[in-house]
Structure 1
Amino acid sequence: MKILYFWFNEYKKVKDFEANFGSEYLFGFEYNNHTISVEDNKVYIKDFFKIKSKESKNPKVDISAIVGENGSGKSTILEFLSEIMNSENNENIDSEYILIYTIDERLHFSTNINKKIIFRNNSSKYIIFCNTPINLHGHLTLIFSNVFDAKSIGMHSEEEGIHYRNITTNFLMSQFYELSQFLISELEKQVYFVHEYKDQLNIQNLMTVPDKIFIKASLNENSIIYTDELEDVMYLIRTKNFTDDFFDYKKSNKFYSDMLSNSLIAYFAQIDNLFEKNNITLIGTYYKDLLYGFSKEKHNNIFDAVYRQLEEELSEYYYNDLPNKTIESLLASLKELKESFELFIDYFMNMKFNSSDNSLYIYTYSLETKEFISLYKNAFAGIDCLEFTWSDMSSGEYGMLSLFSRFHSILEALKRDEEILSKDEYFSKNKLPFIIEEGKLKYENVSVSFPTSFLLLIDEGDLYFHPQWQKDWLNYFIKLVNLLFEGEVQIILTTHSPFVLSDFPNTNVVFLKRDNNSSYLPDSIEGSPKTFASNIIELFSNSFFINDGLIGSFAKEKVNNFIQSLLQLSPEDVYNNQDELKKFIDLIGEPLIRNKILQIYHGKLELHNENHKDLGKRIQVLERELENLKNIRRNITND
């Protein structure tokens, strides 16, 4: 699925908005006569954003940008588009809209306008439009923003459909009771991402990743759904020295004892999830009984002991009541879980942790760390028993890693999500049928396969970035998309940075301006009809981005006041204060302005010097006259 055109009548402060998102066609909508016109996009280049890479999964990538100043409505447009992509059959959509998109090269359009739409085809091709509900089979929309504001309050109630995921900072924060838990979750995602893709993306060329990862044993209880059984075994495990009975370790360190206790709790939590998933309840056996059944003579370790007892329990109680495939599948999952915990604990007990100011850390780029994190992820699968924090990181570095790691994390989570990933081969290979429900044409609501089509909505992804990163980040993100995604990927991003704009051809850019209390769409930016590979300085100087020149408003006012003051000063005042005046003039960086002020400054000094030169001549004349008078007086006296 790829969106080609989007129009809506009014949403919040944005009115009569339309945008073409870079395709072989250009669309336009006339609201008065409800006519959609189509013409050829003569400058369209297919696969413009395709890159060559040996490690790429070769997705089909299209990218468009919505560019505008603060308050012009960029975020509002993404918000409304995400609302449509997260709604079923236009329900709860107040504004009239039109969405034109393609699926398998076929044109579709969806609208909630209750009038007949007329099509005027001015293109060189014969076009047929399918007027159907938005077909989201095999599609996923992801919306990202690193902005944190008051919108996060109350967002926990927002519903995420199987075709929509919200990974904005506001939404993710609303899912945690405490800010610290959100930050821990973010850092964990970043650590996982860096260790999986640091070499493929050459992240170190873009930013300086801290060389140390501080680590702390801490169980995030919010990541566990507790039952009475789990609470009982959790209390038992945390009883003082109880863990010593199950693990042979000589290190009398709280970090090790806490981690081992947390590992056991996480192990039982995942067992509980497996039984819940298969609708199986243990009869006559409690989790704490499995702990007491441990024997060093019979079992390799506590994980092996629990697994073997469960294996016996399942065979004894359920073999005749459940299908063989169910038992076999559950036992295979339990065995895989046991082995993953065994591998992690064995590695953990032999792992060397460094210490600094009573805090433990591991080195970011060591092979030992890479293996440790890989085993930890594999065993704990979303149940957090460790807290990761970077040794040092700027807000820009944090923002960059958050952008990359959230997309990586959500795809990892989706692979484990039964709601998205279905094993039903029929629905992964066939189109969903239409049904009539409540007098409306709808797609049948059934299980779907892992997405093969993605819409990534990125709201100011360059937030917090240094200008150099604003210039580079999109290139790295395109490389990441090629590593993470398969199928069709459409990216629609917002920005107010000309650094990003220079990566886009004009047909993939939507310009948005603010006028009083509303927004409007200029045809292009004055003096710069072409944006791709355009000089960034020229884009900066364009009135679309900056009004009244490139000098800061404070500096402009300061310089103007200085000029007015200089013009009013007398030559004598300029001469008496020349050091202070010259000091300010030398601060001015723009040569044209500085030289013009210097002309005024030197002109005043010359006037002062001329005045003093004339006065000197007058004194000389008067002195000569005085001397002549003295001579006359002497002559008279002598006579």
Structure 2
Amino acid sequence: MELLYIYLNNYRGVFKEQQFNFSSELRFKYNKASRELRVERNDQYLPQFFQIGNERDPEHGKIVNVTGIIGKNGAGKTTILEYIKENFVDEVERRLDKAIIIMRNEKGRGIIFVHSDLRIEKGNFYNFDFEEPYYYDEYADKMLQLFTSIISDTTVVFYSNIFDARQEFEWDGMRNISTNYLVKQYKSGIKEKDQDFSISETELYRLEEIRKQLHFIYSTRNELQDLPFKLPDHVIVTMRSTRFDIQAVDSKNKRKKDNSNFNYIIRHLVNSHPEQNWTDKVKKHFWVSLLDTFFQELQEMNLELVLDETVLNYAFNEEDSLYKKLTLVLQTMIQGIKNNKYSYDSLWHWFDCIKQLLDFFEVHITKDTVSPVDYSFVIPLNGSENESESPLKKLLDLHAEVARFTPFLDFNWGDLSSGEKAFLSCYARFYALADNQQIASNMHLERNVLILIDEGELYLHPEWQKSFLYNLIRYLPSIYTNRNIQIILTSNSPIIASDLPKANLIFIDKGESGCRVIDGLQETKQTFAANIHTLFADAFFIRTGLIGEFANQVLLSLINTINETPSPELIERRVELESLIGQIGEPILRTKISSMLKNKIQDYVDNTQVNRQLVEMIRKMQIEIEELKRGRGNDFN
């Protein structure tokens, strides 16, 4: 289902009688007074305009359309996305505001939903293969069910890297991968599993994001040759503590033994083997964390354990290595699991992965890799040219197999900038929704995907902003196979506007009467492939010139100083003022202000020179007069 048009009568008091065209092929215009809906075809519309790269691949996703919502801060860009999130998901208690919503299904048939207070009594929309409008009230259950059935084949995905503590939700039919939502969601998942509460929401969010980024990097390694930055050489591995309490069952009387919970037994077994050095101590801590996770997973799967006292006695009394004892105890536990839900083969595969993790820690936690100050070790990001042999890839895969419900390892990057992290985070979050990353098939995206992106270019350098949309158009169809993808994104930047034709842009301005949709830029009519500097100069983006306000105020003060300061004082401050003028980057402006200063000083200098010449002439004349007077006096004598 493709979204074509929305008319909002009054949404949150922000948009009043405003209409939004999301289709680049058709342009809709509703007249509330005459109750008429007109449709016009865009003569410059190009089918498959956004199909690039592997569009011939039958499994490759298809970009149906891209719409950019451009506006200043506070103009209401995010508000439009919030309306779509609230009304285009499968939520039981949905309340549709007074609006007109126009969509088109995969067969090309147009569907119009109209609030009964608005009405459509005439128009030419029938000529464009649209059905008779469906009318609804706010709480019209029957019509809401019809609306729900129509959008049921569409998943709404919301992405934003903004963290401003805005309340975010995820309803049925929607996947929320915004920072605001994930920060809360990661923490709530920990609380539900009764894990360690001491970790902060932001720290947990950071660690989970890195884990997603690593999976993204290794799963799409062949497609990452053109990353705009170099990845770190290594990753730091740490462990996350868990807390729970599982009671064991005595194999003889099948009673819970209060003093024999497995958690206590394993910890006691580990502690009974004193470490020889710091490396052994770090290794033991990772083993304990792994075994904690083992018990937590058993609890999540509701499996009953049977305690074999003989094996435990052997583990505590014999002199074998700790690794062999742990392996024997775990193997005995697996054999004794009473299970009616999980197959024997799947449980043994799970146990084999746990055993491989024990081996992994034994091999890779060494004196050369452990940290001297905390319980962590480093592992190379690119440890092998063969992806399957990469130690980090193996660790990620084993961790995913072992800790399906309870992640217990955390990964930290070396040095990455905010922009580099934002780049990875964006791609990793979208990749996490791909079919091959979902545990259950009911988590797969629907046939149609409506992607909402709120200022996705945030944190990116302008050079990366230039390729932001292009990279998305290439990347999303490659991971969302067999999907129809519609993208609606917001931005403050003319860089995004230069990547989209005018028909694919919605410009929003904010005035005294509220937020409103305007008809394109005020001075530049075409946007696609337009010069970014030309777009910046348009009054829609910047009304007060193309320099920063601080610089603007400094220049105004400089000009006032030149105009109002007496010339003698300007001459005294000439070196200071000329130094400031020399720092002005705009050559025409620099030359003009420099001329102002020179002209005023020169006029004063010239006037002073003339005055000096006059004084000198007067002085000479006075001398001559005196000489004449003395000469006449001598003549009389």
Taking structure 1 as the reference length, what is the TM-score of the superposition? 0.81
- 2:231 partner SS: coil
Q: Aligned equivalents of 2:313 and 2:447: distance in 1? A: 47
Q: Tell me if structure 1 keeps the 8 A contact 2:559–2:593.
A: yes
Structure 2 equivalent of residue 384 of structure 1: 407
Structure 2 equivalent of residue 40 of structure 1: 41
- 2:432 partner SS: helix
Structure 2 equivalent of residue 614 of structure 1: 610
Q: Aligned equivalents of 2:306 and 2:299: distance in 1? A: 11
Match of 1:497 among 493, 499, 502: 493
The aligned amino acid for 1:452 is R
How far off is 1:374 after superposition?
Answer: 3.3
Matched, 1:255 2:282: yes
Structure 2 equivalent of residue 416 of structure 1: 439
The aligned amino acid for 2:31 is E
* Greater mean deviation of Cα atoms: 534-543 or 602-611: 602-611
Q: Summarize the Cα distance change of 1:114–1:573 in structure 2 as closer, same or farther, 3 Å threshold.
A: closer
How far off is 1:311 after superposition?
Answer: 4.9
Q: Aligned equivalents of 1:130 and 1:293: distance in 2? A: 77
Structure 2 equivalent of residue 393 of structure 1: 416
Instruction: Please give the per-residue CA displacement for 1:288-331, whole angstroms capped at 9, x wherever unaligned.
Output: 8798398789x9885676466545655xxx7xxx6xxx6xx522
Q: Aligned equivalents of 1:42 and 1:288: distance in 2? A: 79
Q: Tell me if structure 2 keeps the 8 A contact 1:294–1:305.
A: no
Structure 2 equivalent of residue 484 of structure 1: 479
Structure 2 equivalent of residue 466 of structure 1: 461
Q: Aligned equivalents of 1:369 and 1:86: distance in 2? A: 38
- 1:39 partner SS: strand
Q: Aligned equivalents of 1:637 and 1:290: distance in 2? A: 149
Structure 2 equivalent of residue 196 of structure 1: 219
Written as runs of structure 1 = structure 2, the 5 A alignment for 1:76-87 is 76-87=79-90
Q: Summarize the Cα distance change of 1:596–1:229 in structure 2 as closer, same or farther, 3 Å threshold.
A: farther
Structure 1 equivalent of residue 236 of structure 2: 214
Matched, 1:133 2:162: no
Instruction: Please give the per-residue CA displacement for 1:485-517, whole angstroms capped at 9, x wherever unaligned.
Output: 121111111111111111111221111111126
* Greater mean deviation of Cα atoms: 115-124 or 609-618: 115-124
Q: Aligned equivalents of 2:634 and 2:450: distance in 1? A: 114
Matched, 1:52 2:53: yes
Q: Summarize the Cα distance change of 1:129–1:290 in structure 2 as closer, same or farther, 3 Å threshold.
A: farther
How far off is 1:544 after superposition?
Answer: 0.9
The aligned amino acid for 2:155 is L
- 1:238 partner SS: helix
**How many residue pairs were aligned?**
581
Structure 2 equivalent of residue 237 of structure 1: 266
Q: Summarize the Cα distance change of 1:202–1:558 in structure 2 as closer, same or farther, 3 Å threshold.
A: same
* Greater mean deviation of Cα atoms: 539-548 or 107-116: 107-116
Q: Summarize the Cα distance change of 1:29–1:340 in structure 2 as closer, same or farther, 3 Å threshold.
A: farther
* Greater mean deviation of Cα atoms: 41-50 or 207-216: 207-216
Q: Tell me if structure 2 keeps the 8 A contact 1:74–1:494.
A: yes
The aligned amino acid for 1:358 is V
- 2:378 partner SS: strand
Q: Summarize the Cα distance change of 1:333–1:355 in structure 2 as closer, same or farther, 3 Å threshold.
A: closer
Structure 1 equivalent of residue 426 of structure 2: 403
Gaps of 5+ in 2: 135-145, 188-196, 250-259, 385-390
- 2:620 partner SS: helix
Structure 2 equivalent of residue 10 of structure 1: 10
Match of 2:209 among 186, 192, 197: 186
Match of 2:586 among 579, 586, 590: 590
Q: Tell me if structure 1 keeps the 8 A contact 2:101–2:113.
A: yes
- 2:519 partner SS: coil
Q: Tell me if structure 2 keeps the 8 A contact 1:24–1:44.
A: yes
Gaps of 5+ in 1: 422-449
Q: Summarize the Cα distance change of 1:115–1:545 in structure 2 as closer, same or farther, 3 Å threshold.
A: closer
Q: Tell me if structure 1 keeps the 8 A contact 2:242–2:289.
A: no
How far off is 1:286 after superposition?
Answer: 4.1
Written as runs of structure 1 = structure 2, the 5 A alignment for 1:34-433 is 34-53=35-54, 58-61=60-63, 62-88=65-91, 91-113=94-116, 117-118=120-121, 120-121=123-124, 125-128=128-131, 131=134, 132-134=146-148, 135-152=150-167, 158=169, 160-175=170-185, 176=187, 178-179=200-201, 180-202=203-225, 204=227, 206-219=228-241, 232-239=261-268, 241-242=270-271, 252-273=279-300, 275-276=301-302, 282=304, 285-286=305-306, 292=312, 302=326, 306=330, 310-311=334-335, 314=338, 330-351=343-364, 354-355=369-370, 358=373, 360-367=377-384, 368-381=391-404, 383-411=406-434, 415-417=438-440, 419-420=442-443
- 2:27 partner SS: strand
Q: Summarize the Cα distance change of 1:604–1:123 in structure 2 as closer, same or farther, 3 Å threshold.
A: farther
Q: Tell me if structure 1 keeps the 8 A contact 2:235–2:381.
A: yes
How far off is 1:530 after superposition?
Answer: 1.5
How far off is 1:481 after superposition?
Answer: 0.9
Q: Aligned equivalents of 1:346 and 1:238: distance in 2? A: 19
The aligned amino acid for 1:169 is T
The aligned amino acid for 1:530 is Q
The aligned amino acid for 2:10 is E
Q: Aligned equivalents of 1:293 and 1:418: distance in 2? A: 44
Q: Aligned equivalents of 1:383 and 1:294: distance in 2? A: 30
The aligned amino acid for 2:295 is F
Q: Aligned equivalents of 2:285 and 2:265: distance in 1? A: 14
Q: Tell me if structure 1 keeps the 8 A contact 2:161–2:456.
A: yes
Q: Summarize the Cα distance change of 1:244–1:63 in structure 2 as closer, same or farther, 3 Å threshold.
A: farther
Q: Aligned equivalents of 1:165 and 1:228: distance in 2? A: 37
- 2:569 partner SS: helix
- 1:381 partner SS: coil
- Identity, % of aligned pairs? 24
Taking structure 2 as the reference length, what is the TM-score of the superposition? 0.81
Structure 2 equivalent of residue 537 of structure 1: 533
How far off is 1:73 after superposition?
Answer: 0.5
Q: Tell me if structure 1 keeps the 8 A contact 2:507–2:517.
A: yes
- 1:548 partner SS: coil
Structure 2 equivalent of residue 424 of structure 1: none
- 1:151 partner SS: coil
Q: Summarize the Cα distance change of 1:387–1:313 in structure 2 as closer, same or farther, 3 Å threshold.
A: closer
Q: Summarize the Cα distance change of 1:243–1:77 in structure 2 as closer, same or farther, 3 Å threshold.
A: farther
